[in-house]
């Protein structure tokens, strides 16, 4: 497809649409973002201009171009401050929270989500306030503050009670399912993941892939509870969802890795290495540090099961190095535990 050179306002919607077309190459999509940016830069600073600035930022985010995303958000914030546009300021703070979350900078991310929450409260915007609080709960979950996260999610459910906010409700139930799984309360985990599935409706865009996400999470409950055949069924079902690899590559990578792990537990080793490596390749391309660590640890377990202690140790050490460089204490502990099993003669050191 050739790129149109028309810089008129009429071409802006087309550029923005094409920039979000997942069937196009990332390079071509970025060209359309740049063309849209030039048009938006010439606009007067009115409400439509600021909406368009956020659309530019959003499209960079969807391309995993996080530094360009941050620059676009700062431009939007500056223009919002000039016009004292509180709603756009709150939106900008949320976007910055997303940026710092993508960079694993939890403290900064929490700070901006908190600023957004307070501003939405002032604006009496319950829906976006609930989303900001849910973002904070997700950060708490990632930092292993499971009880704190559970308490924060309960605030969200109170705010959206008796509303039709199905997307927020889905995310809240899904997060509660994840929390209870980490707390080894498998019955509650399953109950909330099933509530999440039941809350899916046409208001939640299919591109968000909620069914695939829930299949992965339900499968993981079974996996953690040593019900490997049931786990395998759900991971396979998740992988069958239409456009999953295109719409949500990080969920696709999780499903591949978890399917491989469930098959390893069932001693079904044919084609396993390729599944593990396929997941790792996707996570590596997306620069998902935690995902890469998980892939390395699962590869380590795979090689250990085949008595290849050299490759098992190598992958575990690579996981440990990544965990240390990203200050992921939980992953550091898991990596050290794995190494102590692979190298029992060095267990005391680890």
Q: Which of 252, 275, 298 is the last residue of a domain?
A: 275
Least confident of 49-63, 164-178, 324-338: 324-338
Domain identity same for 267 and 232: yes
The pLDDT of residue 349 is: 80
Rounded to whole angstroms, the Cα distance separating 160 from 158 reads 6
- Specify whether the CB–CB gap between 231 and 222 falls below 8 A: yes
Q: Long-range CB contacts (< 8 A, 24+ apart) of 208-213?
A: 208/167, 208/247, 208/248, 209/241, 209/243, 209/244, 209/247, 209/248, 209/251, 210/170, 211/238, 211/241, 212/238, 212/239, 212/241, 212/244, 212/248, 212/251, 212/252, 212/255, 213/174, 213/238, 213/248, 213/251
Q: For residue 103, which of 304, 317, 287 has the smallest C-alpha distance?
A: 287
For 241, the domain range is 215-275
Residue given tokens 């849910």 in the structure block = 134
Rounded to whole angstroms, the Cα distance separating 84 from 122 reads 14
CATH number where 245 lies: 1.25.40
Domain identity same for 302 and 247: no
Domain identity same for 343 and 312: yes
Domain identity same for 270 and 299: no
The CA distances from residue 346 to 32, 287, 301, 350, in Å, are: 54, 31, 17, 6
Q: How many separate domains does the chain show?
A: 2
Instruction: Examine residue 229 and state whether it is found in any structural domain, yes or no.
Output: yes
The pLDDT of residue 162 is: 86
- Specify whether the CB–CB gap between 257 and 294 falls below 8 A: yes
pLDDT over 90 percentage in the chain: 85
- Specify whether the CB–CB gap between 200 and 210 falls below 8 A: yes
**pTM metric for this prediction:** 0.86
- pLDDT tens digits, 223-249: 999 999 999 999 999 999 999 998 999
Instruction: Examine residue 237 and state whether it is found in any structural domain, yes or no.
Output: yes
Domain identity same for 307 and 338: yes
């Amino acid at each position: 497809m050739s790129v149109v050179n028309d810089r008129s306002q009429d071409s802006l919607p087309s550029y923005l649409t094409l920039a979000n077309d997942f069937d196009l190459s990332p390079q071509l999509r970025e060209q359309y973002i740049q063309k849209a940016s030039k048009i938006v830069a010439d606009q007067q600073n009115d409400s439509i201009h600021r909406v368009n600035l956020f659309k530019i930022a959003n499209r960079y985010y969807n391309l995993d171009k996080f530094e360009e995303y941050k620059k676009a958000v700062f431009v939007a914030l500056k223009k919002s401050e000039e016009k004292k546009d509180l709603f756009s300021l709150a939106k900008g703070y949320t976007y910055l929270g997303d940026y710092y979350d993508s960079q694993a900078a939890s403290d900064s991310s929490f700070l901006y989500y908190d600023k957004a929450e307070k501003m939405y409260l002032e604006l009496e915007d319950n829906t976006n306030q609930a989303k900001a609080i849910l973002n904070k709960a997700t950060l708490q979950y990632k930092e292993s503050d499971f009880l704190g996260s559970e308490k924060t999610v309960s605030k969200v459910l109170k705010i959206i009670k008796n509303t039709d906010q199905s997307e927020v409700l889905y995310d809240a139930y899904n997060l509660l399912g994840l929390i209870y799984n980490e707390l080894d309360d498998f019955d509650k985990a399953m109950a909330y993941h099933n509530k999440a599935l039941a809350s899916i409706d046409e208001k939640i865009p299919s591109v968000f892939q909620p069914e695939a996400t829930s299949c992965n999470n339900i499968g993981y409950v079974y996996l953690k509870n040593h019900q490997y055949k049931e786990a395998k069924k759900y991971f396979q079902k998740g992988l069958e969802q239409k456009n999953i690899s295109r719409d949500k590559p990080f969920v696709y990578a999780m499903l591949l890795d978890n399917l491989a792990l469930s098959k390893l537990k069932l001693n079904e080793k044919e084609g396993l290495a390729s599944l593990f490596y396929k997941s790792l390749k996707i996570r590596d391309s997306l620069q998902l540090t935690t995902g890469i660590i998980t892939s390395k640890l699962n590869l380590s377990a795979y090689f250990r099961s085949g008595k290849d202690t050299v490759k098992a140790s190598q992958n575990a050490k690579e996981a440990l190095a990544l965990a240390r460089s990203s200050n992921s204490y939980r992953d550091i502990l898991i990596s050290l535990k794995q190494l102590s099993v692979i190298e029992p003669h060095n267990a005391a050191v680890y």
